[in-house]
Amino acid sequence: MRFRYKIFTRLIVALLLIETGLLFLLFNISPQQQNVVTTNKDSHRAYFMTKGFYDDAYQTSSQLVLPERVYGGIVPHHLIVANKIAILFESLKKYQYKTIVLIGPDHFGKSKNDISLSGLSWQTPYGTIDINEDLLRVFTDRGYNIDDNLFDTEHSISSLVGFIKKSFPESKFLPIIVRSGTTSEELNNFANLLYSVVDSNNTIVLTSIDFSHEMTAEEADANDAEAQKVIEDFNFNKILNLNIDSPESLFILLTYLRFNSVTTADLIFHTNSGRLIGTPNEPTTSHMFFVFHNK
C-alpha cells in the first residue's frame, strides 16, 4: 500500500509540473506597462477545473481548533498538500468572511509592475468567484495596475481559487500579484492602503507562498526554522532576506497585520514534498501553514 501511495503521489507531482509548463508556454505574453491590461477572456479559470480533485481533498478535511478571530494566514499553493489546504479553508469557514484577499508571487517574472491586480471573475468547479469591485476601485484610483493577462498563468492564485469558492461560496475576492524585488517602501505603502480600506472583521488577508525550494528535506528544515522565527517575531528587518517563495508577499501580509495590531502567529502544518513522496534527499519543496490572531 505504501509503495502504491508513493507511485500515486509522484504521478500527481509530475502531472502538476507538466501542466504548469504547458500553461506557461501557452500564455507566455508580456503584459504592457499601462494602468489596465485586459485579456480577451471574460474570466480566469481555477488551476484545476475537475470537481473531483477538490472533493477528494475535502474528504479528509477535519476542523482545526482556531482562536476567536483570524485576521490573516499563510497557505501554500503546492497542490501535493491539497488535503491540508482543504482543512485550513474549511476551518476558516466559520468566520464567514465577506472578502478573501489573496497575495501571491509573480513566479515567471512577467509583470512590468511591482503590484498587479485583476478585474476579472474566476471560474471554478463550484461556480464563479466575483471580484470585490469596490475594493479594486480603491487601488486603481490610487494608481495600482490591473493586468489580467498576468493572472492567466500565475498558479499561486489559480491553485487556490477552487478551495476558496468551495469553503466561501458567497465571498468576494481580491487577488494580488507581487513582483520579486519590490522595495520595502512600496510594499509598506500598499499594506498601509490595504489596512485603511479593508474591513478587518469581515475580511481575511492570505498570502499564497511555498517555502524552501531545491533543498533536501534536512536543509529545508533549517531554512524553514529561520523563516518561522522571522514570522513569529514579525522581524521586518529580515523578511526580505528569507529564502522562500515570495518574501515580498509575506512582507505585505505581516505589515498589514501589524497595522491591525495583530501580533500572534500560529504554525498549523509544516510539511515537505520529499518526505511526502519518500525522496527526502532529493530537491524538495516545503510548506508552512500559519494563522494570525490577537492573543
Residue-level pLDDT at 295: 80
Write out the E strands in 130-262: 145-147, 172-178, 203-208, 213-215
Q: Is 229 helix (H, G, I), strand (E, B) or coil?
A: helix
Q: What are phi and psi of 23, to 5 degrees?
A: -65, -40
In this prediction, residue 62 carries a pLDDT of 82
How far, in Å, CA of 159 to CA of 139, rounded? Answer: 24
Q: For the chain, 295 residues long, give each residue's pLDDT as a single digit of tens.
A: 433 434 444 444 444 443 333 333 333 322 333 344 344 468 999 999 999 999 999 997 788 999 999 999 999 999 999 999 999 999 999 999 999 999 999 999 888 899 999 999 999 999 999 999 999 999 999 999 999 999 998 999 999 999 999 999 999 999 999 999 999 999 999 999 999 999 999 999 999 999 999 999 999 999 999 999 999 999 999 999 999 999 999 999 999 999 999 999 999 999 999 999 999 999 999 999 999 999 8
pLDDT of residue 41: 66
Number of residues that make up the chain: 295
Write 237-242 long-range contacts (CB < 8 A, 24+).
240/184
Q: Distance of alpha carbon 60 from its chain centroid, rounded?
A: 21
Per-domain residue ranges of the chain: 2-293
* Helix 247-259 with 184-197: angle, nearest 10 deg: 40
Burial degree of 106 (CB within 10 A; 0-12, 13-18, 19+): buried
pLDDT of residue 153: 87
Residue pair 103/253 in contact by the 8 Å Cβ criterion: yes
Say what the pLDDT of residue 137 is.
97
Task: State residue 284's pLDDT score.
Answer: 96
CATH topology of domain 2-293: Protocatechuate 4,5-dioxygenase; Chain B (3.40.830)
